[in-house]
Structure 1
Amino acid sequence: MKNVEINDNKLIIDKKEVFFEKKILEVKIVNEIIVVLLAIDGSLDNVYGINQNGDLLWKIQEPNKEIIGKNRFPYVGLSERDNKLGVIDFYGRRLYIDINNGEIIGKDIVK
């Protein structure tokens, strides 16, 4: 695994720099994919998957209404457990993501 650091809107993977439009709030590494959560800016899709070379693999996909309902909220946190990636929205829902493509595949409630 390469060394990963953040500095405002810059993700540093070893010595390679990857820039985002907004400040990076949090980073998790799951199955060698670097998951980046950006600051809330009015956009609802502020989570990205980056590979070890700094290439964009995916941007989180819009959730299916059968999983999330009709109300969407910005993502405010990341969770990782047993190599499963979750994003936490402002409403306290943890949405599970397919780490390979950013698709939301399930949810539960965070207390």
Structure 2
Amino acid sequence: MKNVLLLSGNENSSHLFLGEAKRTAETRHMPLNFSAASVQDLTPDMLAEQDLVLLAPRAVNQAEVTTLKAQVPTMTIPNDIYGWLNGQALVKFACEKLQLLPVAAV
């Protein structure tokens, strides 16, 4: 099971994605465990448990991104996925970044 953290400037926006991403991963039997947090709530212990951090666009400044990337693979969620709150596309994006399966399989 791979842990994926959705990180945003405020927890509300990441939680909008969380339910759909969890449902999609479960329905498609993907080994993904999604969680969500705001930048302010992020702790070193929380970060240490993650296999991938997905950032909401403009969630953190560049210095914070550099620090995150040094600790765990970190990607910004594309605007077209985030803007539409497309949980299915988010699962596909996470699978691609974690190299879990071919893109067409999700």
TM-score by length of 2: 0.28
Q: Decide which structure has greater strand share.
A: 1
Higher helix share: 2
User: More relative contact order in 1 or in 2 (CA 8 Å, sep 6+)?
Assistant: 2
TM-score (normalised: structure 1) = 0.27
